Structure 1
Amino acid sequence: MGRLFGTDGVRGVANADLTAELALGLSVAAAHVLAEAGTFEGHRPTAVVGRDPRASGEFLEAAVVAGLASAGVDVLRVGVLPTPAVAYLTGALGADLGVMLSASHNAMPDNGVKFFARGGHKLADELEDRIETVYEQHRTGEPWARPTGAGVGRVTDYAEGFDRYVAHLIAVLPNRLDGLKVVLDEAHGAASRVSPEAFARAGAEVITIGADPDGLNINDGCGSTHLDLLKAAVVEHGADLGIAHDGDADRCLAVDATGAEVDGDQILAVLALAMREAGQLRKDTVVGTVMSNLGFKIAMEREGIQLVQTAVGDRYVLESMKAEGFALGGEQSGHVIVLDHATTGDGTLTGLMLAARVAATGRSLAELAGVMQRLPQLLINVPDVDKSRVGTSPELAAAVAEAERELGSTGRVLLRQSGTEPLVRVMVEAADIDQARAVAERLADVVKSALG
């Protein structure tokens, strides 16, 4: 059996790859593994279960709840809420684990199962591996202890989760948003009620688009992966800014009053300066990834803020933050983690904090985001090559060295193996897009000839 867990839980086409049987079995296995790991500490275990609005989430939620309850776990079913809300409630309610059913920014036919440990933290790789092992043992017929009578788990709808999460968001804001007009694109996803409510309670005038989920329209031409509707709405309504989430609202991208995109690097830059000013940016450090724009690094150096870069993936950003005690980190894609207030990327919190900075300073989002100049960045995927030799080919090394000499301090080259496909990603940044394109295409040709 190949590894079920990817970088963000177990994900696939619902009812084909991700079946009710798989969801139920994984939930039983998770209950057993976390109990064996000492998470339950001798008391009756509790789980928080939430989902995004996908139609398949309805039967998958039923399967997860059944699996947990059959393993003796009491379930608090919070309904449709963002992934970071489930993580927050898992910690705030003292639950032993949390389960979120979502495929994030993926198209509607997909879905996923993500587990959180006590405190609302993502599971370590070794716990995921153990869950897979136990699941496979159960699937192939190894019996497991089944509680009966009063030992089975009880299932309760916890409608209070919505207000408790919104109250948490409002409580951590440094200032109100009175006087701001904000357009919110909810991607017809999990934050369709939460985000507008939070912004309105914080004092903003709110206009929503993409906030009418029907189970089938999640991420369909809207949200953080499709910004054109938000850009048009911000300009049409004369709004101060726009905020876009993905299906499970763990990421946030923004649009300024002119309709220009503000990406995750720019959001991090704005929040880093705000948090340093407030004395909250521990060690004057922000964590990004190797894909962070060079313009972000240059801006942080100029402002006296250190940038620590990790492998691509918010889990690696979070690992670095927790290991070193950093307060802020994220990715260009809009996953932003404010560790003092969230255990994972929280798109609604990020959007609120960004809007709060606009309100507090009286400066436009375009002016605030102008702290960094985003250098042109070009990415070319080169398929059907031996990606394992990307770091050992002399021909490729010579070509990269030549490109780096040509770009100097105003550019950058990054070659990465795909984690799931036989391809190499060639990324080039340069002072202008024509130079970036020329260098990237030249390097892509060398990758084909050297590794093909």
Structure 2
Amino acid sequence: MERPIRLQGTDGIRAVVHTISENRGNSSPVRRFLQEGKLTPEFVELYGFAFAKYIQRIRSPRELSVVVGWDPRDPQKILSDAMIRGLQKAGATVLSIGIVPTPLVPMYQVASNAEAGVMLTASHNPPDQNGIKLFAGHFGIKFFPQDDIALTDLIYQLDYRQLSTLSLSGRIQDCASAATELFHEFHLDVRNHLISDALALRDHILLVDHANGSLRGFAADVFQKIGFGQVIDVYEGIDREINRDCGAAELEGVSYIDPQQVQPGGIYAENLVIKRLFEIGLDYQSESRSGGKIVSAALFDGDGDRFFRLDYDPYQDRVSVVSGDEIAYHIAAFLSKQKKIASAADLFVITVESDLQTGVAAAALGRKPVVVGVGDKWLLLQAILSRATNAQPDSGHKDLIHKFENRPCQENLIPIERWLEELPICEEFSSYVGGEETGHTVTAGYLEDKSANRKLIFAGNGLKSALNLYAATEFAEHRSSPEFWRLLHRPFFPGFKKTLYVYYTDKSKLKFESPIWEDLHQTLIRETEERFGSRIAVSLVHKIEEPGMLYLEVIDKTEEKNVQAAIFIRNSGTEDKTGVYLRGAEHDRDNLIFIGEQLRRRLLENMINENHPYLKAAVLFLDGKKIDESAISRHRLLQEMTKSGLIDEAYQPTELGLRLID
């Protein structure tokens, strides 16, 4: 089997957890990860050791300190203990902060002047998976692809049998209490949220959905201290699996939820937060119409770096979803209104997954829209590049800026660290907004390190995003009219946005100019030209952050030459799936869906990993046969088959599902 040059995806690694030791002879933990897709304690220990050695090599610290946190899906601490062992064997001092949301790892890293941070989490992925996110430097920056490649190469050079004999030379410190205190102080600090009038929040009944994850006990407490009128932690005292029938990831791509969808047999029948939102919303329907109450919910993912908002609409008797694009726009609009004068630093950075109209709407605010590849590291990079450019860089810095603008996948995090060390922390950073459709929103945060130096931190932070959104959407003049709900959930005129997934793919097949890439390329051009006709031109766009992505722009041939639509195919960086992304105008919906379905069929025919255990289970299910639930999560299987279009909401095979059997 050919080994990939990079083990990591968009943000670290994720895989199904396997904690039972087995005698596999010469089978190394790395081989099991690559061939079987299993995350073992031995692999995690090896990964931690290699990470510490890499940081020691590139930063040469006098003493290496690494912050380590984890989410609740590892209650016996099997993987977190393995990570800590690996770091200690490399001589690192481990600052253990326990079960925490992901953004607290870089926050505590910056505050304690630690050299690096590790978060053990699979984020929004199903509960049978876990993963590793890495941070480095005194600003808590995530690894860039070149760092991932260098770390992967180091991992390949290690022998776990030798590693297992090493002693624990590093120390471990319990920093959980100090980290928890920092988290609360950070979010209550007026520099880190936009709330200026807490009295306006007294009319809110806020339900909290922490996805049974890392924000349990954190989010509700902060909301109460900030001043929300009534805060209800729906899952308090309820033991459920992380991300199961809850959380922000459950609602990706959803705009509205109708009452029948929470009834028995409905798609959200097991979602306690949505059910409670309808119940409480109906109880306060009259007061909500008069502007006296707002009944909403804050939804996070398992590790707390994503956020969606739900609201009960008293006029439509439905629940409306405010997702990543709208969240970023609302915050940008609020900051622009406060600032009044636009500047070159007023960036609005979104990813290719966003609605095309999001950038258009941001430009109307006087902001400069920038579209990057998927991953919050790219949102951060644009903030730094903009600040470095506006700081009148010398010739050396200009060369670095040019490199990162033109080949970011070939650079590591050291130059970024140096820029941040040299750039003054100024007001221009405060106006920056970056956002992903999936709910990561990045704005500047501030804290002090242990030497009382003011430090800047950029990180995807679900709770910070929630506080900022609630501040940005207090349209007091509209509270007693349907206009309030329209502005809240449709702050700009949206385009068409849909993603078609194929799960259980062999993602290694989708590489630039590979046979499958070329086949999809030709299919995409042919179908697009046939459906749209002579009124358009097509342009293949190379996205430098994701070289393997196949991205096609559909350009109107009028004088304006506007981008009318975008159709692209990319591998997920966090799950075993490949997506066909359709973005454009609402009037092109039918054309885009037709093209997307043709491409999805090609993926199903050419990219399926026939050895994937969940694919085998899917075929058995479609064929009406029994599946082995001791090895397969039935809930995960049905959820992924539904998202793939293989079965409908009643779990009956679709035409696409029957095609898979054939």
Q: Into which bin does the TM-score normalised by the smaller protein fall?
A: 0.7 to 0.9
Q: Helix, strand or coil for the counterpart of 1:116?
A: strand
Report the counterpart of residue 297 of structure 2 in structure 1: 242
Deviates more, 1:287-296 or 1:340-349: 340-349
Report the counterpart of residue 152 of structure 1 in structure 2: 170
Read off the aligned partner of 1:333 and give its amino acid letter. Answer: T
Report the counterpart of residue 371 of structure 1 in structure 2: 491
Q: 1:220 to 1:419 in 2, by over 3 A?
A: closer
Deviates more, 1:408-417 or 1:262-271: 408-417
For 1:386-408, what per-residue CA distance to the aligned partner results, in whole angstroms no more than 9, with x for missing partners? 54216853x64254245554796
The 8 Å contact of residues 191 and 249 in structure 1, kept in 2 or not, is answered as yes
The 8 Å contact of residues 215 and 304 in structure 2, kept in 1 or not, is answered as yes
Read off the aligned partner of 1:388 and give its amino acid letter. Answer: W
Deviates more, 1:155-164 or 1:74-83: 155-164
Q: What's the CA shift for 1:380?
A: 3.3
For 1:381-433, what per-residue CA distance to the aligned partner results, in whole angstroms no more than 9, with x for missing partners? 5789954216853x64254245554796695231224367796615143325x
Q: Within 5 A, what are the aligned runs for 1:275-424?
A: 275-279=335-339, 283-325=345-387, 327-341=432-446, 342-359=457-474, 366=485, 367-381=487-501, 386-389=515-518, 393=522, 396-401=524-529, 403=531, 405=535, 411-418=564-571
Report the counterpart of residue 646 of structure 2 in structure 1: none
For 1:217-262, what per-residue CA distance to the aligned partner results, in whole angstroms no more than 9, with x for missing partners? 1001001023554444334324443210000011111112312011
Read off the aligned partner of 1:34 and give its amino acid letter. Answer: I
Read off the aligned partner of 2:280 and give its amino acid letter. Answer: H
Q: 1:369 to 1:302 in 2, by over 3 A?
A: farther
1:257 and 2:312 matched: yes
Q: Helix, strand or coil for the counterpart of 2:442?
A: strand
Report the counterpart of residue 11 of structure 1 in structure 2: 14
TM-score by length of 1: 0.87
Q: 1:106 to 1:403 in 2, by over 3 A?
A: same
Distance 2:126 2:249 in 1: 11
Q: 1:282 to 1:219 in 2, by over 3 A?
A: farther
Report the counterpart of residue 248 of structure 2 in structure 1: 224
Report the counterpart of residue 166 of structure 1 in structure 2: 184
Report the counterpart of residue 92 of structure 2 in structure 1: 73
Distance 1:240 1:422 in 2: 35
Instruction: List alignment gaps of at least 5 residues for structure 1.
Output: none
Report the counterpart of residue 110 of structure 1 in structure 2: 129
The 8 Å contact of residues 571 and 578 in structure 2, kept in 1 or not, is answered as yes
Q: 1:34 to 1:368 in 2, by over 3 A?
A: same
For 1:96-131, what per-residue CA distance to the aligned partner results, in whole angstroms no more than 9, with x for missing partners? 111101000011110011111022111222322222
Distance 1:50 1:213 in 2: 23
The number of residue pairs the alignment matches comes to 444
Read off the aligned partner of 1:31 and give its amino acid letter. Answer: A
Q: 1:281 to 1:94 in 2, by over 3 A?
A: farther
Read off the aligned partner of 2:216 and give its amino acid letter. Answer: S
Q: What's the CA shift for 1:37?
A: 0.9
Report the counterpart of residue 36 of structure 1 in structure 2: 57
Distance 1:316 1:401 in 2: 32
Q: 1:70 to 1:208 in 2, by over 3 A?
A: same
TM-score by length of 2: 0.61
For 1:21-74, what per-residue CA distance to the aligned partner results, in whole angstroms no more than 9, with x for missing partners? 11111111111110111252x2x2211111110036711111111222222222
Q: Helix, strand or coil for the counterpart of 1:79?
A: strand
Report the counterpart of residue 188 of structure 1 in structure 2: 212
Q: Helix, strand or coil for the counterpart of 2:310?
A: strand
Aligned mate of 1:267, from 289, 309, 327: 327
The 8 Å contact of residues 71 and 153 in structure 1, kept in 2 or not, is answered as no
Q: What's the CA shift for 1:310?
A: 1.0
Q: What's the CA shift for 1:346?
A: 0.5
Q: What's the CA shift for 1:208?
A: 1.7
Q: Helix, strand or coil for the counterpart of 1:107?
A: coil
Q: What's the CA shift for 1:196?
A: 0.8
Q: What's the CA shift for 1:362?
A: 6.3
Identity of aligned residues (%): 24
Report the counterpart of residue 132 of structure 1 in structure 2: 152
Q: 1:130 to 1:142 in 2, by over 3 A?
A: farther
RMSD: 3.2
Q: What's the CA shift for 1:328?
A: 1.1
Q: Within 5 A, what are the aligned runs for 1:426-441?
A: 426-432=581-587, 435-441=588-594
Read off the aligned partner of 2:171 and give its amino acid letter. Answer: G
Q: What's the CA shift for 1:11?
A: 1.2
The 8 Å contact of residues 287 and 329 in structure 1, kept in 2 or not, is answered as yes
Aligned mate of 2:111, from 89, 92, 106: 92
Q: Helix, strand or coil for the counterpart of 1:83?
A: coil
Q: What's the CA shift for 1:363?
A: 5.3
Q: What's the CA shift for 1:329?
A: 0.7
Distance 1:294 1:402 in 2: 22
Q: 1:442 to 1:165 in 2, by over 3 A?
A: closer
Which has more radius of gyration? 2
Q: 1:281 to 1:292 in 2, by over 3 A?
A: farther
Distance 1:79 1:354 in 2: 28
Distance 1:278 1:61 in 2: 44
Q: Helix, strand or coil for the counterpart of 2:183?
A: helix
The 8 Å contact of residues 349 and 371 in structure 2, kept in 1 or not, is answered as yes
Report the counterpart of residue 64 of structure 2 in structure 1: 45
Q: 1:29 to 1:283 in 2, by over 3 A?
A: same
Instruction: List alignment gaps of at least 5 residues for structure 2.
Output: 20-37, 252-267, 282-293, 314-318, 388-428, 447-456, 537-553, 557-561, 607-662
The 8 Å contact of residues 580 and 599 in structure 2, kept in 1 or not, is answered as no
For 1:70-93, what per-residue CA distance to the aligned partner results, in whole angstroms no more than 9, with x for missing partners? 222221211111001111111111
The 8 Å contact of residues 67 and 95 in structure 2, kept in 1 or not, is answered as yes
The 8 Å contact of residues 209 and 233 in structure 2, kept in 1 or not, is answered as yes
Q: 1:262 to 1:387 in 2, by over 3 A?
A: farther
Q: What's the CA shift for 1:8?
A: 1.1
Distance 1:429 1:375 in 2: 6
Q: 1:415 to 1:6 in 2, by over 3 A?
A: closer
Q: What's the CA shift for 1:272?
A: 0.5
Deviates more, 1:116-125 or 1:245-254: 116-125
Q: 1:34 to 1:400 in 2, by over 3 A?
A: same
Q: 1:224 to 1:91 in 2, by over 3 A?
A: same
